[in-house]
């Protein structure tokens, strides 16, 4: 195996190891960045829901308080306002979902599904947990779910949800008296659940990863070409020339011209040493012939 082949083999092996390490690390980084991007979107949605809830409770409900005495208006309920706004958003972004899921909701539409019930029970079993992030498979691909507990901290909530007898009659007429009662102070009755699709960020991450690996491979190819050119002209060509001269001299051909290599590198030192050996051998042959 020639010097060039050995050099290229070592470089290729080193590149493959480096490429594998770089690939593993960069893939983890781009995937983690994509996940952080999705989490950030989910938190923005969650904070938007909080803003809608607070605005409804502080601004809207006082304006229609007089009407609530004659009929129940769900528009005055913060959770209804937040979910209604996000349902309107789903017309443009159908895979972005916000829901206030409950085990015993007043509105049957808010009843928790099986996986949402698992989230609520996790908050109930671990009251110190303030946020839960999971990933789940959906019909449209992977989705990241950000959840926060809904806990009764205001006595005003119990005015409508303690017993059916204490609830406004207008609310009973709208939703009935079978659901949404028996809530207790400090009880975790549900969870705010935000679901954000991960397909687009993950696709972008995969494309970024592929571009990075392609660029890295292209850079290595260019470096290999440059190194091979340098190896040829700086090392292989001079060594081959000196080898041919040594072979000719060993066969008794003293008419071979000296190989001049300027510089202070190893090849220049080798050529100078060979030239001295050739001259010494030539002088010795002349002395023997005399």
Q: Determine the pLDDT at residue 65.
A: 67
Domain 43-198 bears CATH identifier 3.30.450: yes
Strand partners, 190: 102, 150
- Determine the 3-state secondary structure of 285 from DSSP: helix
Structural domain boundaries in the chain: 3-12+206-289, 43-198
DSSP-derived secondary structure for 202-225: HHHHHHHHHHHHHHHHHHHHHHHH
Please tell me the distance from the alpha carbon of residue 250 to that of residue 242, in angstroms, as a whole number. Answer: 12
Task: Tally helices (H) and strands (E) across the chain.
Answer: 9, 4
268: pLDDT strictly greater than 70: yes
Higher pLDDT, 51 or 240: 51
The pLDDT-based confidence of 56 (bands split at 50, 70, 90) is confident
Mean pLDDT score of the chain, rounded to an integer?
83
Q: What is the dihedral of CA 64, 69, 74, 80, to 10 degrees?
A: 70
Average pLDDT, integer, range 253-277: 71
By the 10 Å C-beta count (0-12 exposed, 13-18 middle, 19+ buried), 92 is classed as: exposed
Ranges of H-type helices in 56-168: 61-63, 78-89, 114-125, 155-161
Segment of 221-225, 233-237, 284-288 carrying the highest mean pLDDT: 221-225
Please tell me the distance from the alpha carbon of residue 244 to that of residue 277, in angstroms, as a whole number. Answer: 15
The pLDDT-based confidence of 178 (bands split at 50, 70, 90) is confident
Q: Determine the pLDDT at residue 181.
A: 79
Q: What confidence tens digit (pLDDT) does each residue in 39-50 have?
A: 999 999 999 999
What is the CA angle 101-104-110, rounded to 5? 35
Q: Determine the pLDDT at residue 272.
A: 76
Q: Determine the pLDDT at residue 256.
A: 67
263: pLDDT strictly greater than 70: no
Average pLDDT, integer, range 193-217: 91
Q: Determine the pLDDT at residue 177.
A: 76
By the 10 Å C-beta count (0-12 exposed, 13-18 middle, 19+ buried), 255 is classed as: exposed
Higher pLDDT, 232 or 242: 232
Would you tell me how many other CB atoms lie within 10 Å of the CB of residue 147? 25
Strand partners, 147: 132, 193
What is the CA angle 188-51-121, rounded to 5? 20
> 3-12+206-289: what fold?
Helicase, Ruva Protein; domain 3 (1.10.8)
Higher pLDDT, 91 or 17: 17
Looking at the chain, the whole-number percentage of residues with pLDDT higher than 90 is 36
Average pLDDT, integer, range 178-188: 82
Looking at the chain, the whole-number percentage of residues with pLDDT higher than 70 is 87
Q: How far is CA 84 from CA 48, 53, 107, 143, 189, in A?
A: 13, 11, 13, 21, 20
Q: Determine the pLDDT at residue 208.
A: 92
Higher pLDDT, 177 or 94: 94
Q: How far is CA 133 from CA 39, 47, 129, 200, in A?
A: 8, 15, 11, 19
Q: Determine the pLDDT at residue 69.
A: 62
Q: What confidence tens digit (pLDDT) does each residue in 95-143 have?
A: 899 999 998 888 888 899 999 999 999 999 998 999 999 999 888 888 9
CB 182 within 8 A of CB 157: no
């Amino acid at each position: 195996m020639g010097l060039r082949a050995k050099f290229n083999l070592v470089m290729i092996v080193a590149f493959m190891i480096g490429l594998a390490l770089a690939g593993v690390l960069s893939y983890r980084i781009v995937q983690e960045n994509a996940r952080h991007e999705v989490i950030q979107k989910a938190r923005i949605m969650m904070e938007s829901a909080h803003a809608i809830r607070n605005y409804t409770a502080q601004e809207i409900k006082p304006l229609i308080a007089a009407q609530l005495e004659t009929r129940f208006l769900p528009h005055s309920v913060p959770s209804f306002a937040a979910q209604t706004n996000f349902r309107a958003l789903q017309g443009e972004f159908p895979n972005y979902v916000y829901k206030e899921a409950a085990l015993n909701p007043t509105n049957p539409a808010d009843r928790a599904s099986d996986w949402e019930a698992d989230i609520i029970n996790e908050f109930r079993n671990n009251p110190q947990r303030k946020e839960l992030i999971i990933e789940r498979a959906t019909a449209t691909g992977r989705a990241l779910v950000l959840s926060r507990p809904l806990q009764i901290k205001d006595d005003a909530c119990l005015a409508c949800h303690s017993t059916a007898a204490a609830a406004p009659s207008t609310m009973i007429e709208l939703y009935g008296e079978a659901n949404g009662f028996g809530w207790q102070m400090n009880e975790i009755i549900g969870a705010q659940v935000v679901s954000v699709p991960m397909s687009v960020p993950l696709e972008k991450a995969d494309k970024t990863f592929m571009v990075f690996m392609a660029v890295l491979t292209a850079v290595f190819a260019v470096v290999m070409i440059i190194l091979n050119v340098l190896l040829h002209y700086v090392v292989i060509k001079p060594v081959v020339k000196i080898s041919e001269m040594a072979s000719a001299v060993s066969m008794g051909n003293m008419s071979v011209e000296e190989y001049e290599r300027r510089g202070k590198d190893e090849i220049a030192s080798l050529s100078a040493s060979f030239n001295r050996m050739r001259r010494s051998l030539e002088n010795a042959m002349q002395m023997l012939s005399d």
